[in-house]
Structure 1
Amino acid sequence: MNLVNLESVSHAYGPKPLLSDLSLGVEAGERIGVVGRNGGGKSTLLSVIAGDVRPDSGRVTHTRGLRVGVLAQRDLLDPSQSVREIVLGELAEHEWAGDQRVREILGNLIGDLDLDAKAGELSGGERRRTALAQLLIAEHDLIMLDEPTNHLDIEAIAWLAAHLAGRRSALVVVTHDRWFLDAVSTRTWEVVDGRVERYEGGYAAYVLAKAERARIAQSAEERRQNLMRKEIAWLRRGPPARTSKPKFRVEAAQALIANEPPARESVELLKFAAARLGKTVYDLEDVTLHAGGPDAGPLVLDDCTWQFGPGDRVGLIGVNGSGKSSLLRLLADTVEPDSGRIVRGRTVRLAHLSQELSELDPGRRVLETVEEVRKYIQVGKKEWTASQLLERLGFKGEAQWKVVGDLSGGERRRLQLLRLLMDDPNVLLLDEPTNDLDIETLNELEDLLDAWPGTLILVTHDRYFLERVTDRCVALLGDGKLSFLPGGVDEYLERRASGSALTARMAEAAATPATRSAPAAPEAAQGLSVKEERELRKELNRLERQLDKLGEQEAKLHAQMAEAASDYAKLGSLDDRLRDILAQKDTVEAEWLELADRIGD
């Protein structure tokens, strides 16, 4: 059943049409991720679906009594209201305190924030979490989220994804966080040139399907095709979580990526980096650091010794407030350690992108602002002009002659990042570089960084970007140390979860006998026996062989249909047989997925 229907909907702001004659619907329980360039109409589409914006033409209909929850990019919290009033409303304390779902939302979003604090006193991140908690505590048939991961750390984003996946509500979400899209979406809408192109599956499936469409159509946009294929190569060769897909799905991508080189030529880049940097980049020796200065603020490093070498591409992970930005400022030599010393390589040429953008001359043109740094730069084996790089990062044509004072926050961030790259650094410290960047621009930035030889240390809440451009992860876990994570973000989340569980057990152990709960009775072992699992795996292998045969039959039928293109009678017969084969494949795939789910693959 469709909850919302759009019929021939068009809408424009000024002379720019954002939506053109759209007809689509949102079904009950459907989870849709919306992607597209900044300014392309994603937020407008959400507002039209929610009923907050009336389109210029066409009709939008909601089912009777539809409960819609909306999280806009900018919250509209009453500054005079407390967090308690905003989030919990009229709920008595015994009502919400006794509701496990409400407690979970408060624990993961509100955390230690004072419930009696006024909204006007909150930081941007605290306001965002408050608005999100207010939305999630209520019951909705349709939840619409515009950039919900802004201001959330990796741990909170992982919790939010799991929470949304477990709700019955339909979901429409706009976000540039591609990991989040894959985690929550079962369908992807791309808003492009006023149209909405629809794809089955999350971001990974969208990338694959879009590249396949481009390949079949033999698109003239060769550079975009290559970029998309490179993205698929990453999806295939990336972390294990991204490749744990059914075998028959993975094999469908092989033809596209068979001859695609790795996203980065790591060995070659390491040679370049070593030649530019020598052996030493940063050596931390017995360093102690507090975020607010000596013995002030949270402890970040405690007598820590660590080394960042030439060609290292490191993702720095930790909860908000753990000191990631402080560590970058320490490496950038803008703060001093409380004790210990830092040895910096003599050849280090540093570029530091902080969360606070340095001031740009508001009266200058975009292109002039970049060319005053350098007009040409060598990235990998190719030389780029300032204008070419501006175009790659979204400043096309006349946009390069805009006055800096007229740029949006996202455009200023792109411009500042490009100025840093044009200065030809060999060490990059990036603090949340993905803020306000759309997915296409992120793809271009990743492609640029692939060919950039040097040491990269990255702080970002964008898990996809983190895994895409770095080779290893290091965490600040609150113990004053830098902890290497061979398993990446997944290991970080596991260690954080086990740490929380240990804290809870220690608190329970410290409780008095009168308040300590009685030990729970041991549960019976659950799961499959060895014999049952062996039989299920046999059946799984049989289904895979059947799928291989059906795939071969499908390929033969496609070839026969190509040969019989002018014989309409034969073509009709072949088409009927093809439909039967595809129906069989759907049935077998469903059986395969059910078995795989039981086994836990």
Structure 2
Amino acid sequence: MAHLLGGENLSIAFATRVVLDSVTVGLEEGDRIGIVGRNGDGKSTLMRLLAGRQSADSGRVTKRGGVHVGYLDQSDVLDGENTVGYAIVGESADHVWASNSKIREIMGALVGEVDWDANIHSLSGGQKRRVALAKLLIGDDDVIMLDEPTNHLDVEGVAWLAKHLKGRWRANEGAFVVVTHDRWFLDEVCNRTWEVHDGVIDPFDGGYAAYVLARVERDRMNSVIESKRVQLVKKELAWLRRGAPARTAKPKFRIEAANELIADVPEPRDTVALSKMATARQGKDVLDLENVSLSYGDNEIFKNITLRLAPGERLGLVGVNGAGKTTLLRLLNGEVEPTSGRLKRGKTVQTAVLTQEVTELDDVMNLRVLEVIEREKRSFDVGGKEMSAGALVEQLGFTKDKQWTLVKDLSGGERRRLQLLRLLVGEPNVLMLDEPTNDLDTDTLAAVEDVLDGWPGTLVVVSHDRYLLERVTDHQMAMLGDGKLRGLPGGVDQYLELRAEALSSAKPAGSSADDAPSGPSEAEKRDARKQLNRVERQLSKLAAAEAKVQLTMSTNVGEYDALAELQTKLAELATEKESLELQWLQASEVLA
């Protein structure tokens, strides 16, 4: 494999803390690399150094001549005064980019629902992120560097991005580096993993599952892992081996010793025992939504839905943006009154909701982490074991020194952890988590999951993180934007199939003639799809015809009569192409 770029003896420090200490790494053609590590350990810094966006204190970054590097930053780098269209394609004419099937696919997947003429500053954070991602992906870079690309993408968007990256180049061409906490995504797209920790980089073959196996083997051989971390990683490893054997069959390193480690590890959670504990704490009735409908003006969010939560039930919710996932949690929590139907609440039910914001910590900003937890309670039960507040705080990644940090001085990920901890020490018996993976690194996510494994209450999780949903919930339900709830016996894969069917069908699932939306009719949309397919086939034929004419012209240099005829033919093809591109744009507007 040919070398693309690399860093030699890179060192960088912030204040008195060394982030990277004389590290050397390289990217070869065909590399698909995921970077993992704790928040603040230097993942994004390493990527910025390799992309040439930041300079190291010492060492150097080199790249092969002619190599182009594309970079997706976590921060908002788009000019807010530009329109969406200009931000993505610049001054390129519509018929130029519209004739490129790759660009059309990227546009449709990422910004199909965004107003093309809107100014960037008027967009939501998620829409800005999608525009920036689309701008990067339509390019022809040899190396792509993506810093948290799955942020603001739903399950469907993450699946599309994974598919795009897997098919973007041939196996031995191009390269990308990705920093993400989405462990399913890492497993799906990466063939190598770099772990950044303590100023060094440890490389591993394979995606996240392979990395977990290799890390346990490394730590066993070196005998340097603390007992608490061993138990945590062993537990996750056991789940990976049972739940995703196909993922762990690919690594080339020896895993027999790792398998011995987990031979006596119990299931991540004892569902029967937890259910009995939950019943004892909650009684038989928890939360029931019975024939509930909810509307805001003319916008009907839910249509006669029924949902019954049992003691100890662990439910995952997936759905399209705007389908009402957060609103459903608010209904269950009694914050929103249904338009019709009713919420039945068990007498002993105590709910707690982890929101997407962290405003719940505003009243404790001047307290220290441990003080916040001990103010609630000094000890509580986790999985039948008594645990002090300090021990739980440490289990979720707050070292003894960090426990005495003021809340206002914590990072976003640390505040997210504290937000969850504060909810848990209140000992609710119904816990609802709204996108809990925001700002958390993979190690912290594993620690959170370990705490949830021994938690006996009823759990409802809204998340686009497939790994988390499969790990901590026992079944999932879908919200497809039609006001209904659907069970997913086949999990997230079944949800993606339902979404694909809904998008390809002339009539979306669950709709009827009475509730058809305004705008183009279904018949018009069906005709537009046929038109798009027809035009795209003709554009492909025209491109081949143009290439043939141009090749003939190159072999008839000096034969002016022949060249004149060929030039006329080329002009005719260009006219026909412009007409087809106009038809394509008109059909696209019907489906927008």
Aligned mate of 1:487, from 478, 490, 503:
490
| 1:115 to 1:513, Cα distance in 2 relative to 1, 3 A | closer
Once the two structures are superposed, residues 480-503 of structure 1 have per-residue CA deviations (whole angstroms, 9 ceiling, x without a partner) of: 221110010011001111121113
State the match for 1:589 in structure 2.
Answer: none
Aligned-pair distance for 1:375?
Answer: 1.3
State the match for 2:545 in structure 1.
Answer: none
C-alpha contact (below 8 Å) 1:243/1:250 kept by paired residues: no
C-alpha contact (below 8 Å) 2:187/2:247 kept by paired residues: no
State the match for 2:408 in structure 1.
Answer: 405
State the match for 2:230 in structure 1.
Answer: 225
Aligned mate of 1:275, from 270, 274, 280:
280
Q: Indicate the SS of the match to 2:505.
A: helix
Once the two structures are superposed, residues 423-479 of structure 1 have per-residue CA deviations (whole angstroms, 9 ceiling, x without a partner) of: 011100100111001111111100000000010000111111111100000111223
Unaligned runs of 5+ residues in structure 2 are 509-521, 538-592
Matched residue type, 1:435: N
Aligned-pair distance for 1:241?
Answer: 6.5
C-alpha contact (below 8 Å) 1:360/1:404 kept by paired residues: no
Once the two structures are superposed, residues 231-284 of structure 1 have per-residue CA deviations (whole angstroms, 9 ceiling, x without a partner) of: 111112226765786999998864343222111111110110111111111111
Deviates most, 22-31 or 237-246: 237-246
Aligned-pair distance for 1:356?
Answer: 2.1
Matched residue type, 1:351: A
State the match for 2:22 in structure 1.
Answer: 21
State the match for 2:356 in structure 1.
Answer: 355
- Alpha-carbon distance between aligned partners in 2 of 1:102 and 1:518, rounded to the nearest angstrom: 18
| 1:208 to 1:284, Cα distance in 2 relative to 1, 3 A | same
Matched residue type, 1:212: E
Q: Indicate the SS of the match to 1:360.
A: helix
Aligned mate of 1:197, from 181, 202, 207:
202
- Alpha-carbon distance between aligned partners in 1 of 2:128 and 2:366, rounded to the nearest angstrom: 33
C-alpha contact (below 8 Å) 1:281/1:309 kept by paired residues: yes
State the match for 1:433 in structure 2.
Answer: 436
C-alpha contact (below 8 Å) 2:216/2:258 kept by paired residues: no
Aligned mate of 1:365, from 364, 368, 378:
368
State the match for 2:527 in structure 1.
Answer: 511
State the match for 1:345 in structure 2.
Answer: 346
State the match for 1:71 in structure 2.
Answer: 72
- Alpha-carbon distance between aligned partners in 1 of 2:407 and 2:32, rounded to the nearest angstrom: 38
Aligned positions of 1:22-421 closer than 5 A: 22-168=23-169, 169-238=174-243, 242=247, 254-290=259-295, 293=296, 295-297=297-299, 299-357=300-358, 358=360, 359-421=362-424
Aligned positions of 1:546-561 closer than 5 A: none
Aligned-pair distance for 1:217?
Answer: 2.9
The size of the alignment, in residue pairs, is: 517
Once the two structures are superposed, residues 39-97 of structure 1 have per-residue CA deviations (whole angstroms, 9 ceiling, x without a partner) of: 00101100111111111111211111221111111121111011101111122111122
State the match for 1:424 in structure 2.
Answer: 427
- Alpha-carbon distance between aligned partners in 2 of 1:76 and 1:306, rounded to the nearest angstrom: 43
Q: Indicate the SS of the match to 1:372.
A: helix
C-alpha contact (below 8 Å) 2:32/2:175 kept by paired residues: yes
| 1:324 to 1:237, Cα distance in 2 relative to 1, 3 A | same
| 1:274 to 1:23, Cα distance in 2 relative to 1, 3 A | same
Aligned mate of 2:473, from 470, 473, 481:
470
| 1:19 to 1:471, Cα distance in 2 relative to 1, 3 A | same
| 1:243 to 1:207, Cα distance in 2 relative to 1, 3 A | closer
Q: Indicate the SS of the match to 2:364.
A: coil
- Alpha-carbon distance between aligned partners in 2 of 1:177 and 1:265, rounded to the nearest angstrom: 26
TM-score for both structures, normalised by structure 1 = 0.82
- Alpha-carbon distance between aligned partners in 2 of 1:221 and 1:215, rounded to the nearest angstrom: 11
Once the two structures are superposed, residues 527-580 of structure 1 have per-residue CA deviations (whole angstroms, 9 ceiling, x without a partner) of: xxxxxxxxxxxxxxxxxxxxxxxxxxxxxxxxxxxxxxxxxxxxxxxxxxxxxx
C-alpha contact (below 8 Å) 2:323/2:483 kept by paired residues: no
- Alpha-carbon distance between aligned partners in 1 of 2:271 and 2:242, rounded to the nearest angstrom: 14
Matched residue type, 1:52: R
- Alpha-carbon distance between aligned partners in 2 of 1:30 and 1:242, rounded to the nearest angstrom: 18
Q: Does 1:496 align with 2:496?
A: no
- Alpha-carbon distance between aligned partners in 2 of 1:256 and 1:57, rounded to the nearest angstrom: 41
Matched residue type, 2:149: P
Unaligned runs of 5+ residues in structure 1 are 522-601
Aligned mate of 2:445, from 442, 445, 459:
442
TM-score for both structures, normalised by structure 2 = 0.83
Q: Provide the alpha-carbon RMSD of the alignment.
A: 2.5
Matched residue type, 1:49: L
- Alpha-carbon distance between aligned partners in 2 of 1:222 and 1:516, rounded to the nearest angstrom: 60
Aligned-pair distance for 1:511?
Answer: 3.2
Matched residue type, 1:511: D
Matched residue type, 1:54: S
Matched residue type, 1:307: R
Query: Aligned residues: percent identity?
Result: 54
- Alpha-carbon distance between aligned partners in 2 of 1:227 and 1:115, rounded to the nearest angstrom: 47
C-alpha contact (below 8 Å) 2:7/2:24 kept by paired residues: yes
Q: Does 1:457 align with 2:460?
A: yes
Aligned-pair distance for 1:230?
Answer: 1.1
C-alpha contact (below 8 Å) 1:108/1:159 kept by paired residues: yes
Matched residue type, 1:378: D
Matched residue type, 2:9: S
- Alpha-carbon distance between aligned partners in 2 of 1:192 and 1:248, rounded to the nearest angstrom: 21
Once the two structures are superposed, residues 133-183 of structure 1 have per-residue CA deviations (whole angstroms, 9 ceiling, x without a partner) of: 110011101100111101110000000011011122310000111000001
